[in-house]
Amino acid sequence: MLPPGPFSPAFWQSLRFATSPRSYSAAITSRYGLVTRFRSLNGNGVAIADPEIARQLFAADGETFGSHPMHGDVFGAYSVLATSGALHLRQRKLLNPRFHGARVRAFLETMQRVVHEHLDGLRKAASEGRVVVMIDLAQALTLDVILETVFGDTVGLERPKARAILRDMIGATSSMFVFASALRSPAFPPWRNFIRRRAAFDAWVDDMIARRRARQNLGGDILGLLLEARYDDGSAMADAEIRDLAMTLLLAGHETTAIAIAWGVYWLLREPAALSRLRNAIDALGPEPTADALAREPYLQAVIAETLRIEPIVTDVGRVCRVPLTLGPFTVPAGEFAIVNVAAIFASETLFPEPARFRPERFLETSFSAWQFMPFGGGHRRCLGAAFAEAELAIVLGTIAGEWDLALAEGPPERAARRNITMGPRRGVRVRVVGARAPGAIAKAS
């Protein structure tokens, strides 16, 4: 049995979801229920806003799901977002340990150094009385974090060239061809531009790989870890696998983290009580808290969680069913999507009382299950870089709150708008820099 849903054309449903996913989801669930049928330009499927049925989806065997052509077209055929079945499980078994625990902690000091290099520029903005667009600052910052942690010293003096290649790749990614498979065609100019930028990116990564292989020491960055990694049969990752994973880290890790930083700053400035409590927690860590101390601070972790809840950057988590999948009283046909409607679940009055209110304390008062709170997806395909992203967010937001006084610039409240394949602040979060707050910040900036 299929659930109810709107009968409007696929084009209209795709347009509404692409431009206003949260309001559209709220309207659909209000009318049809927590499990609904949809039609889209990428295919038909079932959208789930019921946490219990989401649990069933996340718990399903990995062999149940395939990959959608969009993921392979955009991220590459060997991206963990595009692979499925035995190949996907093989990749996850190899990669998961390299993006968790001690491996992530090894990158924390590098992240903190890059963060301070970028945030020290706020002093100049303060002296000039300039308004800073937080999304721009965050994108530049997270781009350099990727360059430092993924490619390390191989980039060397080519950093301006590397930044340009990565920015071009990101800028060429359009929601138009992401949400409409027919537009992923050489006849569509934005897609042709994307393919050109992707080719330039691939050539640059291939050169990085070749240079690193020529060295005796592969290095301790992510590229080095991938080059030295071995599958159970002793084989190494192919260059194409490494290239597509680098592409995935760039598109999925850079933009999403930058948006989360901007939203976090926005809500902390909107809610002075939350900012005050966070500053007290950070001050208790000492004048110059370590990156590891920031990453472990409980209230800071709650601030990050609440930011990801109130402003979901990725509003849905989808799977393509290779075989019919029964979820509650419904069955998703083979070849169709089963999508967890993250935005609708995060706006649930039952799970998150006063969902429109920014209240980090809820994550200290209640332990939410992996199918109630899933900003990084869930099950076998949970985001590979979740721990990396959470650590980076903690260092950035902790440093900003602890060391800088900011104020929202005048203007209307921020609203979420489509930014390529994610949802971000329409105006970018415009702030004024009042000045450095802590002695540690003054010493670093002088």
Q: What is the DSSP string of 138-198?
A: HHHHHHHHHIIIIIGGGSGGGHHHHHHHHHHHHHT--HHHHH-GGGSSTTSHHHHHHHHHH
Q: For the beta carbon of residue 183, count every other beta carbon within 10 angstroms.
A: 16
| Residue that the structure tokens 């649930």 belong to | 348
- DSSP assignment letter at 371: T
| Residue that the structure tokens 């531009």 belong to | 193
Please name each of the domains of the chain with its CATH number: 10-445 (1.10.630.10)
What is the predicted pLDDT for the residue at 314? 86
Amino acid at 93: K
Pairwise CA distance, residues 125 & 342, whole Å = 37
Residue 416 host element (H or E)? strand 416-419
Pairwise CA distance, residues 351 & 443, whole Å = 44
Cα 420-425-426 angle, rounded to 5 deg: 80
- Residue by residue, pLDDT tens for the chain (446 residues) are 899 999 999 999 998 988 888 899 999 999 999 999 999 988 899 999 999 999 999 999 888 888 777 788 888 888 888 888 888 889 989 988 888 888 888 899 999 999 999 999 898 898 888 999 999 999 999 999 988 888 886 776 678 888 898 889 888 888 788 878 888 999 999 999 999 999 999 999 998 898 888 887 777 888 988 999 999 999 999 999 999 988 888 777 788 999 999 999 999 999 999 999 999 999 999 989 999 999 999 999 999 999 999 999 888 988 899 999 999 999 999 999 999 999 999 999 999 999 999 999 999 999 999 999 999 988 888 888 899 999 999 999 999 999 999 999 988 899 998 877 788 999 999 999 998 885 444 334 33
Within 8 A by CB and 6+ apart from 388, the residues are 99, 104, 107, 149, 253
Cα 266-17-271 angle, rounded to 5 deg: 15
Pairwise CA distance, residues 132 & 432, whole Å = 6
What is the predicted pLDDT for the residue at 82? 85
Q: What is the DSSP string of 232-289?
A: TTSPBPPHHHHHHHHHHIIIIIIHHHHHHHHHHHHHHHH-HHHHHHHHHHHHTT-SS-
Pairwise CA distance, residues 435 & 442, whole Å = 9
What is the predicted pLDDT for the residue at 445? 39
What is the predicted pLDDT for the residue at 343? 92
Pairwise CA distance, residues 33 & 23, whole Å = 15
Torsions phi, psi for 363 (to 5 deg): -85, -10
